[in-house]
Structure 1
Amino acid sequence: MKKDLTNGPVLQGIVGLALPIIASSFLQFAYNFTDMLWVGQLGSNSVAAVGTSAFFLQLTWAFASVFLLGTGISVSHAIGKKENTTAQNIAREALFFLVIIVAVMVFIIQLFYRDLIGFFMLNDLVVESLAYDYLRCASLGLLFILTVNLFTGISNARGDAKTPLKITIIGVVINILLDPIFIFVLDLGVLGAALATIIAQSISLFLFWNKAAQDFLGKYKEWEFTTGTIKKTISLGFPPSIQRIIFTVVGIIMARIVAQWGSDAIAAQKIGLQIESMTFMATGGLMGAMMSFTGQNFGAQKFNRIREGYTTALKIGVALGVVMGILFYSFPTFFVRLFVQEEATVTIGADYLRIIGLSQVFMCVEMITSGIINGLGKTKVPATINITMTLIRIPMAIYLSSFAAIGINGVWLAIAISTVLRATSLSIAYQFIKRKIILNSTI
């Protein structure tokens, strides 16, 4: 199954491709959002515990992404060449190494969970105890979650985006139903949130495995351990994986800086990130659509459509950024109170949304521009710029927050400023790349 993006109305092509991506992204996001809504009813301490634990779960995801991302690309190439057996070999090898890396990370988490949480220096025994419990329990579900993600990538690479969408919907519904039961009825607190997600994802994996395992991996009797394709998979997945790892590590360090202001600040940051994800998910769909649209039209040497596509996507993205920015700036307290009621957390979270709201347009520009540059095959450019501008958040946050009059808002300002710098740098880079590739019609 494929869609020709080199002909027809540009707007229709981009929006038609973006909407399914956005839908799938929001469904994946719904897992965390639902958990946070229910956990928020337990108070800021519980939100802070989940927030600090989540960084190490995301770090595992970042390490595993070398196989998740590389496999999708490798499988799509094999399917395009009508080499189904090769595609199955790629998937089997990726699954094998994915299991290994997840097992290693879970072992580390189970063994050093106190040291990992201790890095944040929370100085709050209640929050630390809750974080220990959540991290140890939630880590046990990483294999289910990441294998579902792997199968989703394989399915999309084979041209079937409907199956992952249906299975994701089932998982989200199960999670929504189980969260209040486990958290409140069974009185398991944050452990209940972790268990609800594990059960929902394990059911999703069962459905995926039952429906598609032999198509994706080959018949069981034909399974054998090989390593013939894993090198290519790693080489394709390594650059974006490194970017994710660095982003996650920077996020952990930023959270350590935030922790100086206590559990209310950590909870506020976690809630702010969840709310801001609405913009990120919607723009992520445009970014993915822009990358595919640009790639196909670049291959077809239709450079006018690439320019028109970028302008069209940019208009949609800017409009989205303006709307979300106004909402975050004008109604921050309303959004934060959806999760928690503690005044200290609400105040810090509202400041976060006001400041971050000012950079929403720039985030949209950054992501869409990354999409077109990646589509033109210059993947190292966005990676280099994004990594560099993300790393500067750390010294900037330390410096700005050192002023008594600014305090923790200096951390939020550092995030907003780095987003503006990323968007500006990528826009300038695109202009140079456009002159070289599009206007001159040369690589």
Structure 2
Amino acid sequence: MSLNTSKIKTLWRLIKQSLKGEEHDYTQGNVKVAILLLSIPMILELSLESVFAVVDIYFVGHLPNADVAVATVGLTEAVISLVYTLGIGLSTGATAIVARRVGEKEVDEASKSGAQAITISLLIAIVVACLGVYFASDILSLMGAKPEVIAEGTSFAQIIFSSSPAIILLFLINGIFRGAGDAAMAMRSLWLASIINIILCPVLIYGVGPFPELGLVGAAIATAIGRTTGVVYQCYHLFAKNRVIKIYRSYFKPNFEIIKSLLGIATPAMFQFFIQSGSWIVLTYIVSVTGSTDASAGYQIAIRNVVFFILPAWGLSNAAATLVGQNLGAKQPKRAEQSVLLTTKYNIIFMSIVTLLFVCFSEFIISLYTSDAEILAYGSQALRIIGFGYVFYGIGMVMIQSLNGAGDTKTPTWINIFTFWVIQIPLAWLLAVHLAMGPVGSFIAIPAAETVLALLAFYFFKKGKWKTIQV
């Protein structure tokens, strides 16, 4: 048997192992194998998460009032990203604590931490859902939506906001699974949710068979049902099956020590992602007020594709976060650092390929979603400009997630404040408004800010303070 054949067989065996979700000790053995076993299901998981927005944009983009429908989905998704922020922040805290406990071989404590995180998340999600449903039209108005978008999109926004518990729990519980190294379980829940959304979207939007034609509202209902089903599937495996993390009813009894530790990590993480999401909302607003509805629609299509192609890199970054947490728990900081540097190398390679795709094929990619000439022009321009910074996005993501995985969520928060609110927003406003560049000014500000973020994150990672954080 040749050496290449042997390597291919080994790779295929590892891929199958990663998809099956077989238990593995990530604090021992080959670091490359550990990265592969974690990153493959994480990449598939997060790629499928992005499918929700891409599928919605694709199908509503073929409705008669495509510009209004796409702008509505885009503006709502921009605001609902604040809900994602809560879910991601809580998930970050849960991942860090669960990974640390698993690395210490304290699996029961890891499970108790997961139960406390679910309780806190559910309470927050219910409050967010109520506020979002009540203020849906006001939120769209604040985003600079045109009157026709508000009239058409309020019901869509209300349904999406009402599904906030499913959104937050989907993120949170997958964070628990990832922290335990059970990335395959997180992947499967997103597969199920995404497949249901893909099936229901055209059925409910266009009215297939016995189903009524619901248009834009149908897209919202399909998304809500898909996410809710994913959460039910997660809970079944969390409570009824024997996996790394197994939660019992008694674990939900309030444990203020765990809650304090969880919120100590999750609160800065929520603020961290809130800062980032808030800056994207402001950018969306700047594009909306300096351009037309076509400009907003084109930008939103471009951003959905940016998210779609960046999430595999985020999957690699989440693998690094899990490896950092578990190896710090096992008192192996050198192995944790080695995992991060190797993951960064792989992310740079992947992001370089995506950069070439965006720069060379931006018009083709956007044309898959719309045939409108104005929307196509704005969308392809946005995709091309944003794509130039992709390599730096990859570096920054791994470094930030590694700091988060160590429980050092405060440093990334300060990096985000400086990068997004001192650089990105002022630069976008300067270029778009004062220099009259319009939406293009906002597009340019994105890779500029992300480059600074990558450099700062790498600097603080190399300083090594994260190795001393206690969780």
Deviates more, 1:134-143 or 1:368-377: 368-377
**Matching of residue 33 in structure 1 with residue 46 in structure 2:** no
Q: 1:408 aligns with which of 423, 427, 439?
A: 439
**Residue of structure 2 equivalent to 1:191:** 217
1:96-115 per-position Cα deviation (integer Å, ceiling 9, x unaligned): 33232222222212222222
Please report how far the alpha carbon of residue 413 of structure 1 lies from its aligned counterpart in structure 2 after TM superposition. 0.6
Match of 2:85 in 1: 62
Structure 2 CA distance for partners of 1:421 and 1:66, relative to 1, 3 Å:
closer
Aligned to 2:72: 49
Q: Does 1:202 align with 2:221?
A: no
CA distance in 2, matches of 1:203, 1:281: 22
Q: 1:74 to 1:257 in 2, by over 3 A?
A: same
Q: Pick from 99, 114, 130 the counterpart of residue 152 of structure 2.
A: 130
Contact 1:155–1:164 (8 Å) recurs in 2: yes
1:253 aligns with 282
CA deviations on 1:28-86 (whole Å, 9 max, x unpaired) are 222222222112212121111011111232212323444333334444555655463x5
Call closer, same or farther: CA 1:357–1:25 in 2, change over 3 Å: same
Q: How do 1:132-171 and structure 2 match up within 5 A?
A: 132-171=154-193
RMSD of equivalent CA atoms: 3.0
- Unaligned runs of 5+ residues in structure 2 are 1-22
The percent of aligned pairs where both chains have the same amino acid is 24
Give the C-alpha shift of residue 317 in structure 1. 2.3
1:162 is displaced (CA, Å) by 3.0
- Could you tell me how far apart the structure 2 residues matched to 1:106 and 1:395 are? 31
Letter in 2 for 1:31: F
Q: 1:196 to 1:2 in 2, by over 3 A?
A: same
Q: Is the 8 A contact 1:148 1:204 kept in 2?
A: yes
Q: Which residue of 1 aligns with 2:263?
A: 234
- Give the TM-score normalised by the residue count of structure 1: 0.87
Aligned pair partner of 1:243 in 258, 269, 272: 272
Q: Which amino acid aligns with 2:48?
A: L
| Aligned counterparts of 1:297 and 1:92: Cα–Cα separation in 2 | 23
Which letter maps to 1:257? I
| Paired amino acid for 1:96 | T
Consecutive unaligned residues in structure 1, runs of 5 or more: none
Matched, 1:317 2:343: no
Per-residue deviation, 1:119: 0.7
Task: Note the C-alpha offset of 1:325.
Answer: 1.1
Distance 1:333 1:428 in 2: 36
Q: Summarize the alignment of residues 424-435 of structure 1 with structure 2, pairs less than 5 Å apart.
A: 424-431=455-462, 433=463
**Change beyond 3 A, Cα 1:237–1:83:** same
Q: Is the 8 A contact 2:38 2:319 kept in 1?
A: yes
Corresponding position: 1:288 with 2:318: yes
Structure 1 counterpart SS, 2:135: helix
Give yes or no for contact 2:99–2:322 (8 Å, CA) kept in 1: no
- What does residue 393 of structure 1 align with? 424
Q: Distance in 2 between matches of 1:77 and 1:293?
A: 10
Structure 2 residue aligned with 1:354:
384
Counterpart of 1:364? 394
TM-score (norm 2): 0.82
Cα distance change on mapping 1:385 and 1:183 into 2, 3 Å: same
Per-residue CA deviation, residues 385-419 of structure 1 (Å, 9 max, x unaligned), is 23311112111111011256632111111111111
